[in-house]
Amino acid sequence: MAEARLPKRVDAVKLVEVNQRFQAKIDTESLTRLREAVEDCEAIVECDIEFMRDQEGHRVIQGSFSTRVSMVCQRCLGLVAIPINSHFELGLVFDDEQAKQLPRRLEPVEIEFEGLLDLWGVIEDEILLSLPSFPTHAVNECHIKQPEPETNNTDIKRPNPFDVLAKLKQK
Ligand SMILES: [Zn+2]
């Protein structure tokens, strides 16, 4: 089966009316803001997106995506692979006034007058929002171990080279 690519720009209003669902992928080469935010994109972005009206009649895009990126570990500065899996529910609006009327659970996304929407941009925004602000390895995989209480003890046991030198000078 050929891999379906997610359409880049869509007629969002029309897709809501036909209750369109996409199970598709986005090549990360095109997601320049994401590429700038991470060290590397390690996997294609897989999306499952549905255009619909919710029970209150709001135009909604809901869906999920998964991918994998590598980022700099903020503890050891090595690279760490970060799996990204997230779910979103967005309310499509034409202006700020409509955005204010959305229920809190729906994050507003503004569509252009003709109903067009930059779908890749929307997904890229959601991926950027789901990146960890302080990426780190798991503790047992990090090159810098958490400070251990034994460290000081071993330092005390080890002879101080200056003390040794002082003793030599006294002889
Ligand atoms: Zn680390």
Per-residue pLDDT of 26-54, as tens digits, reads 999 999 999 999 999 999 999 999 999 99
Ligand 1 centroid to residue 25 C-alpha, Å: 30
Distance CA 12, CA 99 (A): 16
pLDDT at 16 over 90: yes
Ligand 1 centroid to residue 84 C-alpha, Å: 18
Ligand 1 centroid to residue 102 C-alpha, Å: 41
pLDDT at 22 over 80: yes
- Kindly report, residue by residue over 159-169, the tens digit of the pLDDT: 566 665 666 66
Ligand 1 centroid to residue 144 C-alpha, Å: 6
Ligand 1 centroid to residue 141 C-alpha, Å: 7
Largest CA distance in the chain: 95
